[in-house]
Amino acid sequence: MAKDGKIIFIGCGTGRCGTASLVRLVEGCRNCACSHERRPLLPWDFDEKRFKERLAFFSNSTTRLSGDVSYAYLPYIERFIQALSVVKIICLERDRQSVVDSFIWKTIGRNHWYHHDGTVWAKDPVWDATFPKYDIADKRKAIGAYWDEYRTRVRRIAEMYPDNLCLFKTGTLNSIQGQKKVFDFLEISENDRCYQDHLKYNIGEPVKASWTEEAGYARMRRIIHTAENIHSVLPSQCRLILVDQEQIRDYIPAGCHVIPFLERSGVYYGPPSDDSTAIRELKRLRRTGSDFIVFAWPAFWWLDYYTGLNRYLRSKYRCLCENERIIVFDLRTVFFTAVKSNKKEDRSKPATQQPLDRF
């Protein structure tokens, strides 16, 4: 253990192996902060600048245990071990066939593991760079080669640094005994541990939509066009709250400061429990300087489900854009619908809106 008791935690694994579940387990403990695939994403080809940025983030953390989990850490692990005083690394392992099958479903219309011209699969300007490439045009075989390489490399590092890196099967997360092993390795005290005996991680895959590669390709193009639409509507250097089910944010060009909703420490925290929570968090982010809130099409259902939030936005803020891709509200100025007076009104005209100062 470090002299100051502070530990840096890095989680890894091929992806589609329980990394998000590992985050939820560690994040649930007291005095522990853990994120999933922290942005900016790390490219698979080692990037010295990104490494130093992430090293600074870890070094400046204030909680007793602070970390992040992402498959893309593998090329950076040895450098982190050499640079940090105490770093604990957990690699989750899931069987090869399950990982391949899960990626095939998850990446319909895309192929991150092969250099291609974008005609058969859509080019992904964000995620393509985070995976290695193989001279294998068969996508399923390429993903299998990725699994093989990952397993070989991480086991070699584990042999070199057994005190720093430990391998766990994904199923370890599904039992109190397994969670205890994780907590023991991370040196989380008994008082800080929060066992999850009522949760089961990675039990089966989500219902697989009957998508075709063509439909997946079209969806990727829609995501990119949505990001471009947001960029074209909003001024540069603005601060925007983005409601997108974590589908669009990574594709928005540099310039805008994008805040997920809900968020905790800049990380997406999932949908709100109710309208009151949504409105309260919106007010909080607006007070901190957010200029706009944008609903992208994957999250249009929010405005039907959170009816109170919908009414609140439409009654107070100007809607700058509403189309099949995005709905944008301007938070820079508050408006209200004019209240009825005793004077005779001209009902042939809509009620006017009056600006209020920022509250």
pLDDT digits (tens, 9 = 90+) for 266-295: 778 889 999 999 999 999 999 999 999 999
In a 3-state reduction of DSSP, which class is residue 31? coil
Q: Is the dihedral of CA 69, 162, 147, 43 positive or negative?
A: positive
Q: How confident is the model at residue 336 (pLDDT cuts 50, 70, 90)?
A: low
Give the mean pLDDT of 11-40.
93
Query: What is residue 197's predicted lDDT score, i.e. its pLDDT?
Result: 79
How much is the pLDDT for 337?
Answer: 53
Distance CA 250, CA 232 (A): 16
The torsion angles phi and psi of 224, rounded to 5 degrees, stand at -65, -45
Q: Which has more confidence, 208 or 181?
A: 181
pLDDT the model gives residue 309: 97
What's the pLDDT score for residue 334?
A: 86
User: In this predicted structure, what is the pLDDT of residue 351?
Assistant: 36
The predicted structure's pLDDT at residue 256: 85
Average pLDDT in the chain: 89
pLDDT at 356: 33
**What confidence score (pLDDT) does residue 276 get?**
96
Is the model more confident about 336 or about 315? 315
Would the pLDDT of 92 be above 50?
yes
Q: What is the pLDDT of residues 211-262, one digit of tens each?
A: 788 888 999 999 999 999 999 999 988 999 999 998 999 999 878 899 999 9
Strand ranges (DSSP E) for 261-349?
A: 263-264, 267-268, 292-296, 318-322, 326-330, 334-337
Is the four-CA dihedral 122, 124, 243, 351 of positive or negative sign? negative
DSSP 134-170: -S---HHHHHHHHHHHHHHHHHHHHHH-TTTEEEEEG
Query: Over 60: is that where the pLDDT of 93 sits?
Result: yes
Output the pLDDT for position 254.
78
> Residue 42 carries which side chain, given as an amino acid letter?
L
Mean pLDDT of 303-320: 96
Query: How many Cα atoms are found within 13 Å in the side-chain-facing hemisphere of 309?
Result: 25
Position 29 pLDDT exceeds 80 = yes
Q: How confident is the model at residue 264 (pLDDT cuts 50, 70, 90)?
A: confident
**Candidate from 17-21, 114-118, 137-141, 204-208 with smallest mean pLDDT:** 204-208
Q: How far apart are CA 242 and CA 248, in angstroms?
A: 9
What is the pTM (predicted TM-score) of this model? 0.82
